[in-house]
Amino acid sequence: MSTLKGRIALVTGASQGIGRACALELARHGASVALAARNVDKLAEVAAEIAAAGGTAHGFALDVASEESIKACAKAVTEHFGKVEILVNNAGITRDILALRMKRKDWDDVLMTNLTGAFLMTQAVMSSMVKNRWGRIINITSVVGETGQAGQSNYAASKAGLIGLTKSLARELGSRTITVNAVAPGYIETAMTAILTDEQKTAMTQHIPLGRVGSDSDIAHAVAFLASDAAAYITGHTLDVNGGMHMA
């Protein structure tokens, strides 16, 4: 498949999980992929995996909690690939604890990484999209950004904020043929959810009509679709990929 042939994509948090799956899927569709994360060794492994399949990818160090790192990464990607046409804001963290016991740093770290980091990365690369009058911005939010979740007030707030950011940017950038959408995963089997107990996993699965947890590839397929020309008339939308876990 080559529906994205010639396109340049940047995926944050691309060293593992959903970010890695998105990078592999975009490359499979023909895009050249800039892989960004803190762990450059893991990025090299993902780049090698893409190259072995005949694709093009290169790793870039990135800490989305640092504005300086974001600017340096965006500059390095642009110098290497010439531009960024597809941006997948995927990098994120959790600091789960009940609000009553939550420290200010737990709040600040999650909001800075998940929401402010996505905004700053978008701001750092959108000028090339505006100049070329084409772009795809895809923010990875979460079902808890729509439903809320006890013990995750910081994470849920950051992901709800991403949905608001998505809609606002869609209105600002639509006239430049730039679409801005979000993908909201439900319960996906990743390193982030691996810390859950078996009891928690069983309880969550019981609330999923399709009767199974999702995979990172389920999210990657949705991202590749929103990045393609097939989704050219979709913007400001949050695509729920949760097996029916939440039906708004």
- 10 membership: H or E segment, kind and range: strand 8-12
Would you place residue 104 in the very low, low, confident or very high pLDDT band (cuts 50, 70, 90)? Answer: very high
- β-pairing, 8-12 vs 32-37, is parallel
pLDDT per residue as tens digits for the range 75-103: 999 999 999 999 999 999 999 999 999 99
Is 187 marked active-site?
no
Q: To the nearest whole percent, how much of the chain has pLDDT over 90?
A: 89
Would you place residue 72 in the very low, low, confident or very high pLDDT band (cuts 50, 70, 90)? Answer: very high
Choose the catalytic residue: 60, 107, 134, 155: 155
**3 state DSSP class of 65:** coil
Q: Which residue in 66, 64, 93 sits closest to 155, CA to CA?
A: 93
pLDDT at 89: 98
Q: Which residue in 46, 2, 243, 10 sits closest to 126, CA to CA?
A: 10
pLDDT at 165: 98
Residues constituting the chain: 248
Q: Which token pair is 97?
A: 């604890």
- C-alpha–C-alpha distance, residues 237 and 233, integer Å: 10
pLDDT at 37 over 60: yes
Mean pLDDT, rounded, for 153-173? 98
pLDDT per residue as tens digits for the range 106-140: 999 999 999 999 999 999 999 999 999 999 999 99
pLDDT per residue as tens digits for the range 188-227: 987 767 777 778 778 778 889 998 899 999 999 999 999 9
The full set of domains in the chain, from first to last, is 8-238 (3.40.50.720)
Pick from 45-49, 156-160, 185-189, 199-203: least confident: 199-203
The DSSP-derived string for 46-108 is HHHHHHHTT--EEEEE--TT-HHHHHHHHHHHHHHHS---EEEE---------GGG--HHHHH
Q: What does DSSP assign to residue 158? A: H
pLDDT at 1 over 60: no
Q: Which residue in 142, 135, 145 sits closest to 172, CA to CA?
A: 135
Torsion sign, CA atoms 150, 154, 160, 163: negative
pLDDT at 192: 65
Would you place residue 248 in the very low, low, confident or very high pLDDT band (cuts 50, 70, 90)? Answer: low
Mean pLDDT score of the chain: 95
pTM above 0.85, yes or no: yes
